[in-house]
A and B are shown apart, each in its own frame.
Chain A
Amino acid sequence: MTLSNKKVSSILIGGKAGEGVKKAAQVIAKVLLKQSYHVFQADDYQSLIKGGHNFSTISFATEPVYNAYNSADLLISFDKRSMETHWLDFSSSKSLHYYNDNDAKPDITNPPCTLIGYPLTALMKQIYSSPSNVSMAAIALFFVWMECSEAELESTIKQEFRYGIEDNIRFAKAVYRMALADAHLISESKPGLQANQAQANWRLTSGNQAIAMGAWLAGLDFYYGYPMTPASSILHYLALKMPSHKVYAIHAESELAVANMAIGSVVAGAKTAIGSSGGGFALMQEAFSLAGMAEIPLLCILVSRPGPATGVSTYTAQEDLPFALNQGHGDFTRIVAAPDSPERAFSLAAELLSLAWEFQNPVILLSDKHLSESSINAVFPLDVPFFQQTIPQQNKPYERYAVTDEGISPLLFPGSDFVDEDTVIKWNSHEHLPSGLRTDKAEPMIGMKDKRARKGSALNEATKHYQRIAIYGNSGTPVFAYGSSVLELREAQKYCSKPFVIIALVYLLPFPSEELEQYANSQIVVLEHSVNGNLATYLLQNMSLCIKHNILRYDGRAYDPHELAALLEEVL
């Protein structure tokens, strides 16, 4: 590939935790987005606050980018460890690698790329009176590389940073000027692409932000959470939106509290969601069952990381599929759906919250770290469903679990304006009578179980109104995947010489049998991030297929598009 027609460019920033790697990447991604580049930003970080090694990648192009690349055109290392980690594996002869030469002294005669060292630490000592911020250097170097002006650099910093603005600008400008003098060295690495017209409705959004905003548009009033990566950013994001968006994000004492407080809020009529990763979800099991029994509409967001147990906190995995499908004990209907892009994360969160309310049932949105924490330029699809509460006909006396043909009983909430003094609304975790009073008698027990089962069938049927699978590509071997694996496949599709069609399962439960019938008895490939091949097993339990190859990755990392394309060429 020659530079001039190169489709995707990538920038990699590496440093210690606490050096602002991710923030710098975010700012850069935003600048690119303003210039109408499609971006994909992925953050690789460890579960520590200072030290260690973090890096962020921003891949960008004039066409959609679905995944981040390992090989970078521009590399910026704040410390020695980043430089040494990245300069071999992540660069080509055409890459440009800036490093901090107060920290790293490369003793190499034939560097794999153009290396330029600047005395960033010394410069910071000179300039900062307030705590220094090395991430400014990354932004400044990026501006030189992109041929953006110093004035633009200044206004970007003013917009994006709140503290130490003066010193930050002075430091950024000093770096900018130093790099400008070496501008003749950068030409080979430059992106060979011109940006489009500005896109007004693009926003840089992570999967988790999209989930949060999708649910919010569908009426979310409360979010309860207990911090656990990679779900925490939903809690953080909604907490920030609390004053402006009238959504209440509560950090409770444990996941047990999260789930049970959420259920209390639903009983008072609030549209509510909860979220965690596998470990926290495990603690919510009993409450999830309560939601099944008491017919509590609740959106539950499960964002996977490698397990079992504490596992690997800040990396990606798809090990929780069987867990998600089997949440809670006892007989009741479960719904599990997994977004295959941040846009879908938005629409699916809204769709699921609305389904939950329409059918008074808990639902699970299953995501993974790579999808939830990577950011892209997204356009939110605003035509999502919104469940509008209607005031039930008061056929006296009100019964919370009135038996109906469809199995759906009318909803009322204590304290709402439509409830009179004679109305009693009883929700119950025990098996109950239509009135909500507890029972252990055989006949009413059967009646209530049948009612919930009818409702469950109607709910399963209703999922058919939504897009339960997505297909990308025209011909070739079907490759099945869900979640962020679909993003990996879509980017790899650009390079794979053998054609393939991506079959993305958006709804996992109920199994989208009707939509998948066309692939019955086909030879397929399955891609997933697990060691056991849970998706492949699940597919075979539900339909007849011939699995030619099950690509399994379980090191917590996402595929590089070229790497995956090469792998697919072998197995297709």
Chain B
Amino acid sequence: MRELGTHKENTWCSGCGNFGILTAVKKAITALVEDNIKLSNIAITCGIGCHGKIFDYLALSGIYGLHGRGTATAQGLKLANPKLHVISFGGDGDSLGEGLEHTLFAAKRNMDITLILFNNGTYGLTTGQFSPLSNNGYKGLSTPLGNIERPFRAIPLLLEAGASFVARGYSAKIDHLASLIQQAVLHKGFSLIEVMQPCVSYNNTYADLNNRVKMLEITPNEITQSVKLAADPEHVYLGIFYRQLLPVYHEELYQNANPVLDSLSHQQRLELLSK
């Protein structure tokens, strides 16, 4: 298989959790190619933030879009050509702040795309301001006295919105994360992977995470159990919290059609219009 990296110089801080995510993505893609998925049928989108730079480090097609809009562009891609496996990379500021609406609606529609959410609990790229997932009390440039808000809980939020595959990984557990990504891409429907990602510069959570992570033994059958485990105050559970097959948006819209590949010709349009 060809190289999945690019010659682009990597500008993440050394020790950043993003490196582990990049490695896991490449592993997952390699495994997907072995599953007979073609690289030419994979498309990626992202928002703006440190996480978004992954777009430049992957030799895959797609669009490096606007801050917060990565899941919106991902949905547009999927709808136009349902043959594509679309993977969107989002930051917590990006996908749960600026672009929260698109994230929730992608889940609500059970749009057949994958969102990899880089949860570093901060705005890395813009120098460490608090994010929608920052803890209460988090100190950043815009909250020098500490964050007075309480964080969202990504997994319960997205479950409530309608996501049909929800998982959590950790950037330091690369093989586990790669396997989650592979399964998420293969899942038919909206899949979310929340990735715990330490930001060494503004929110170094390695020690805390290493203490608290614990593997889920089984995927719960009951959504209430998924929520409970995802919100556990003591452990940061890793694994698949929820998986369900539900109707996907594009098939509800046009069944097996493919809008770009079956687009009507000029002649067909002329004939229809002259009728």
Are A437 and B38 in contact, CB atoms less than 8 angstroms apart?
no
Name the distance in Å between B135's Cβ and chain A's nearest Cβ: 28
Partner of A253, one of B6, B8, B102, B259: B102
Q: Given contacts A248-B254, A388-B266, is CB(A267)–CB(B73) below 8 Å?
A: yes
Q: Which residues of B contact A262 (CB under 8 A)?
A: 76
Task: Answer whether A245 and B272 are a contact pair too, CB < 8 Å, given A290-B65, A427-B64.
Answer: yes
A-B contacts, 23 listed (Cβ < 8 Å): A221-B259, A222-B76, A244-B272, A246-B257, A248-B259, A253-B102, A256-B69, A257-B105, A260-B72, A261-B72, A262-B76, A264-B72, A264-B75, A265-B79, A268-B43, A268-B77, A268-B81, A287-B66, A414-B40, A426-B63, A428-B55, A428-B63, A429-B63
Residues from chain A with a CB closer than 8 A to the CB of B84 are 268, 414-415
Instruction: Count chain A CB atoms within 10 A of each CB in B76, B266, B272 and give the residue with the most.
Output: B76
Does A386 interact with chain B (Cβ within 8 Å)? Answer: yes
Chain A window 247-272, contacts with chain B (Cβ cutoff 8 Å), 1 for yes, 0 for no: 01010111011001111111111111
Name A430's closest neighbour in chain B (CB-CB).
B64
Cβ contact within 8 Å between A269 and B81: yes
Are B69 and A260 within 8 A (Cβ)?
Answer: yes
Best-buried of A248, A257, A266, A286 by chain B (most CB within 10 Å)? A257
Of the listed residues B63, B84, B263, the one surrounded by the most CB atoms of chain A closer than 10 A to its CB is B63
- B74 CB–A CB distance under 8 Å: yes
Residues on A with beta carbons closer than 8 Å to the beta carbon of B74? 264
Q: Which of A217, A260, A268 contacts B273 (CB 8 A)?
A: A217
- The smallest C-beta distance from B100 to any residue of chain A, in angstroms, reads 10
B248 at the interface (CB under 8 A from A): no
Residues in chain B within 8 A of chain A (CB atoms): 2, 6, 8, 38-43, 45, 48, 53, 55-56, 59-66, 69, 72-81, 83-84, 101-102, 105, 253-254, 257, 259-264, 266, 269-270, 272-274
Among residues of A, the one whose C-beta sits closest to the C-beta of B3 is A422
Which chain B positions have C-beta within 8 A of A388? 266
**Chain B contacts of A495 at CB under 8 A?**
none
| B62 and A265 form a contact (CB under 8 A) | no
Instruction: Give the CA-CA distance A265 to B111 in the complex, in Å.
Output: 14
The minimal Cβ–Cβ distance linking A107 to chain B, given in whole angstroms, is: 54
Q: How far, in angstroms, from A254 to B42 measured CA to CA in the complex?
A: 27
Given contacts A260-B73, A382-B273, 19 further A-B contacts (CB under 8 A): A217-B269, A246-B262, A246-B263, A261-B75, A263-B73, A264-B65, A266-B80, A268-B76, A414-B42, A414-B43, A416-B261, A420-B40, A421-B2, A422-B2, A426-B62, A428-B63, A429-B63, A436-B64, A437-B8
Beta-carbon contact of B40 and A265 below 8 Å: no
Contact check, B101 vs A270: say whether CB atoms are below 8 A apart. Answer: no
Q: Mark A275-290, 1 if CB is under 8 A from B, else 0.
A: 0000000000011001
List residues of A (203-235) whose CB comes within 8 Å of B's CBs. 213, 216-217, 219, 221-222, 224
Chain A interface residues toward B at CB < 8 A: 213, 216-217, 219, 221-222, 224, 244-246, 248, 250, 252-254, 256-257, 260-272, 286-287, 290, 294, 380, 382, 386, 388, 413-417, 419-430, 436-438
A437-B101 contact in complex given A269-B260, A414-B62, C-beta closer than 8 Å: no
Complex formed: what's the CA distance from A224 to B76 in Å?
10
Alpha-carbon distance between A449 and B43 when the two chains are bound, in angstroms:
26
Please measure, in the bound complex, the distance between the C-alpha atom of A164 and the C-alpha atom of B6, giving whole angstroms: 66
A270→B73 CA distance, assembly (Å):
13
Q: Which 4 A-B pairs have the closest CB atoms?
A: A264-B76, A260-B72, A268-B80, A264-B73
A405 to B14, CA, bound (A): 41
A257 with B65: CB separation less than 8 A: no
B66:A424 contact, CB within 8 angstroms: no
CA distance A254 to B68 in the complex (A): 13
The complex places the Cα of A286 from the Cα of B99 at a distance, in Å, of 13
B40 and A260 form a contact (CB under 8 A): no
Chain B residues with CB under 8 A of A222:
76, 79-80, 259
Q: How distant is A276 from chain B, measured CB to nearest CB, in Å?
A: 15
- With A380-B273, A382-B270 already in contact, the answer to whether A424 and B61 are too (CB < 8 A) is yes
Residue of B nearest to A286 (CB): B66
Q: How far is the CB of B101 from chain A (nearest CB, A)?
A: 5
**Contact: B56 with A424, CB < 8 Å?**
no
| Least distance between B195 CB and chain A CB atoms (Å) | 22
Bound-state Cα–Cα, A355 to B222, Å? 53
Q: How far, in whole Å, are A430 and B55 apart by their CA atoms in the complex?
A: 11
Do residues B273 and A270 form an inter-chain contact, with CB atoms below 8 A? no
Bound-state CA distance A46–B93 (Å) is 40
Tell me the bound Cα distance from A171 to B251 in angstroms. Answer: 44
Chain A residues within 8 Å of B59, by CB: 424
- The complex places the Cα of A305 from the Cα of B43 at a distance, in Å, of 39
B269, A437: Cβ atoms under 8 Å? no
**Residues on the A chain within 8 Å of B273, using CB:** 213, 216-217, 380, 382
CB contacts (< 8 Å) of A424 on chain B: these are: 59-61
**Once bound together, how far apart are the Cα atoms of A153 and B80, in whole Å?**
45
CB distance from B236 to the nearest CB of A (A): 31
- A267 near B269 with CB under 8 A, answer no
* Whole-angstrom distance between the Cβ of A432 and the nearest chain B Cβ: 8
Which residues of chain A have C-beta atoms less than 8 A from B39's C-beta?
421
Whole-angstrom distance between the alpha carbons of A524 and B66 in the complex? Answer: 45
Complex interface: chain B residues within 8 A of A421 (CB)? 2, 38-40
Q: A244 CA to B79 CA in the complex, in Å?
A: 18
| A250/B105 in contact, CB under 8 A | no
Q: State the CA gap A425–B84 with chains docked (Å).
A: 13
Closest B residue to A388 by beta carbon equals: B266
Cα distance A304–B167 in the bound complex, in angstroms? 45
CB distance from A482 to the nearest CB of B (A): 27
Contact B270 A263 (CB under 8 A): no
A256's partner among B64, B101, B260 (CB-CB below 8 A) is B101
A268→B62 CA distance, assembly (Å): 9
A267→B41 CA distance, assembly (Å): 13
CA distance A250 to B102 in the complex (A): 14
**Bound-complex Cα distance A286 to B98 (A):** 13
Do A264 and B2 touch (CB < 8 A)?
A: no
A428: nearest chain-B partner, CB-CB = B64
